Structure 1
Amino acid sequence: MTKLSVNINKIATLRNSRGGDVPNVIQFAKDVQRFGAEGVTIHPRPDERHIRYQDAYDLKPVVHTEYNIEGNPITKFMDMVLEIKPTQVTLVPDGINALTSNAGWDAIKNKDFLTEVISEFKRNNIRTSIFVDPDTKQIEGAKLTGTDRIELYTEGFAHQYSLGNNEAIKPYATCAELANKIGLGVNAGHDLSLENIKFFKDNIPGLLEVSIGHALISESLYLGIENVVNMYLNKLK
């Protein structure tokens, strides 16, 4: 079964909009795990517009499933991850002013940088994953960095699937097959939803984990968080 990691950034965004502590991100992390989620994902950005760096520390003692911290490996981010030692760190090349993650790494061009960063995390027994586009050359490049896993950037698939183009899954399946062959674990995330998650999972061999935030939280406004978490779990079986 593919693991479901719930990205709770949107909960922090809602909290920050009023300046208080409602909704409480720590309680929400506890709850989604109680409802069955197998991981919690956060993506702190330098401007702390949603998850704050302090949240990352506060979540450490309450995440008893898999704790996944995403982000661009600037010095502040690296220092935080090395101190917290989450289950997994997912490296994302997002710019400081990016609204959301919008591209994977060029693992070939950034090989030396990624290799150095990943080596530091792995020396501290933190599983590493890098965000990549569905391009076989990038999968091969990712392998050379020493990463444990890749996370396939799925926005392109999600958009095309919503238009009825099921063929959009093919490059993702091809990349997953290659990753499996060369010993890389496969994660995925970005714009996956209740509408497309089962089709994606059924066509991606060896899919270990999906990280879902925006869609899951949005769907929960109508259907309830406990119900939605379990709907995802059923589709991922």
Structure 2
Amino acid sequence: MTKLSVNINKIATLRNSRGGNVPDLLQVARDVQRFGAQGVTIHPRPDERHIRYQDARDLVNVVYTEYNIEGNPVDDFMNLVLETNPTQVTLVPDAVDALTSNAGWDTIKHKGFLKEIIQEFKSKGIRTSIFVDPVLSMIEGAKETGADRIELYTEEYAVQYSLGNERGIESYVEASVLANELGLGINAGHDLSLNNIEFFKNNIPNLLEVSIGHALIAESLYLGIENVVNMYIRKMQ
């Protein structure tokens, strides 16, 4: 079964908007795991506008499933990951002022840089994943960096699916077939939702994990977070 990792960034955004500790980020992390999620994802950014670096440290003693930290490997992020030693680090080429992730790595242009970063993380036993677009050359480049997995950037799939274009998944299927041939594990994330997750999961061979935050939290406003977590899990069985 494909694992669900719940991205709790939006919980931190809500907390930070008012100050104090409501909602309690650590309690939400405990709860989503208790509800059945097989992982927790965070994506701290340099300005700490949602997840704070201290949150990442505090979550070490809370996350007992898979702990995934995403981000651009600037020095502070590198030090944070090496300090907290999560299950997985997902490298994302975010600009400092990016509202949200909006592109995958050019794994050919940045191969040397990524290879050096990945070697350091893997030397500490941290599984590594690279955020990539569904482009075959980028998948091949990811393999050459030494990464364990790729995370497919799924915004374009989500857009095409919402327009009724199921063929929008074709490039993702091709990328996944190649990744499997190269021995790369496959994760996916960005704009996946209850509406489009089942079709995606059913068409991507050996999809190991999806990281879902914005849609899951928005859906939970109407349906309740325990219910929504279990709805995702059922769709991915």
Which TM-score applies when normalising by structure 1? Answer: 1.00
**Amino acid paired to 1:58:** D
The one-character-per-residue Cα deviations of 1:95-138 (angstroms, maximum 9, x if unpaired) are: 00000000000000000000000000000000000000000000
Partner of 2:140: 140
Ranges of 4+ aligned residues in structure 1 off by more than 6 Å: none
Structure-2 residue corresponding to 1:116: 116
The whole-number CA distance in structure 2 between the counterparts of 1:97 and 1:152 is: 22
Q: 1:44-73 CA distances to partner (integer Å, 9 max, x unpaired)?
A: 000000000000000001100000000000
- 2: CA distance between counterparts of 1:170 and 1:154? 12
Tell me the distance in 2 between the aligned counterparts of 1:10 and 1:137: 33
Q: CA deviation at 1:213?
A: 0.1
Residue 114 of structure 1 aligns to which amino acid in structure 2? L
CA distance in structure 2 between the aligned counterparts of 1:72 and 1:216, rounded to whole angstroms = 23
Residue 165 of structure 1 aligns with which residue? 165
Deviations for 1:190-226, whole angstroms, at most 9, x for unmatched residues? 0000000000000000100000000000000000000
**Partner residue in 2 for 1:235:** 235
Separation in 2, partners of 1:156, 1:49:
26
The corresponding residue for 2:61 is 61
Equivalent residue letter for 1:79: N
Write the deviation string for residues 165-197 of structure 1: whole angstroms up to 9, x where unpaired.
000000000000100011000000000000000
Separation (CA, whole Å) in 1 of partners of 2:80 and 2:226 = 30
Letter in 2 for 1:190: H
Aligned to 1:25: 25
Q: Deviations over 1:137-186 (max 9, x none)?
A: 00000000000000000000000100000000000000001000110000
Aligned runs of 1:52-201 on 2, under 5 Å? 52-201=52-201
How large is the RMSD of aligned CA atoms in angstroms? 0.3
Q: Distance in 1 between matches of 2:97 and 2:81?
A: 21
TM-score (norm 2): 1.00
Read off the aligned partner of 1:57 and give its amino acid letter. R
SS at match of 1:68: strand
Identity fraction in percent: 74
State the AA in 1 paired with 2:91.
Answer: L
CA distance in 2, matches of 1:159, 1:52: 30
